[in-house]
Structure 1
Amino acid sequence: MNWLIVIASGIFGGIASVLLRIAALKGIALGESSVLPWLMRGAAVAAYGAGFILYALALRRTTLGIAYPTMVAVSMIVVLSFTALHENLLRPVQAAGAFVILIGVWMLTRYAS
């Protein structure tokens, strides 16, 4: 159950980052007077808030050494997935760096109690 809360927190954080990216692109394309970028920014703030609340709940039952790296890794996977699928800008060096970070997270959480 704790893992699900931490993973959900990371997903919300990643979604918020993606929404901010889309809002920035739409703001450029449609103009800042358009309502859509502002709605996306509001949704991003709500997603960050939901992620924060879930993270705070997870910290009640999980150690910081497990919760934080896991949350960040999940957020990173969400953002990199968006980048790879929609922007086609994920370079091999970026993929390798993400892999190294994920291995580091695995090493940090593997023996944490």
Structure 2
Amino acid sequence: MSGGQRLSEQHFVKFENDLDVASGHLATNVKNLVLALEAVQTGWTGGAAGEFDVAQRALNEDHEAVRKLVERIKEAVQLTRRAGGANDQELATTFRKANGSGGDGSGLKSKLDDYY
């Protein structure tokens, strides 16, 4: 294990619980966004309605992608904790793997980027 500050079991558990809460909020938000989209589509037609639909669906997909990333981070934390604890550098490496990137955020391309 490389040098650095070690994280206690208590810190891991709190972080995992915080990630659970965040994931739950994100899931609720996605459901609310879907309901809002359905409500708007009921009486709105035309080009603007279509463009709104495209943007809202992209936002919903991005929101769900963030929720899934939070879940992957939680899995990485759990795996790290099960491996006997970790220091900051080891967590950073695990998080980069969970993100599917080199740590530069490239794994989080937004669908809204395609829209705008």
Q: TM-score, normalised by structure 2?
A: 0.47
TM norm structure 1 = 0.48
RCO higher in structure (CA 8 A, sep ≥6): 2
More helix by share: 1
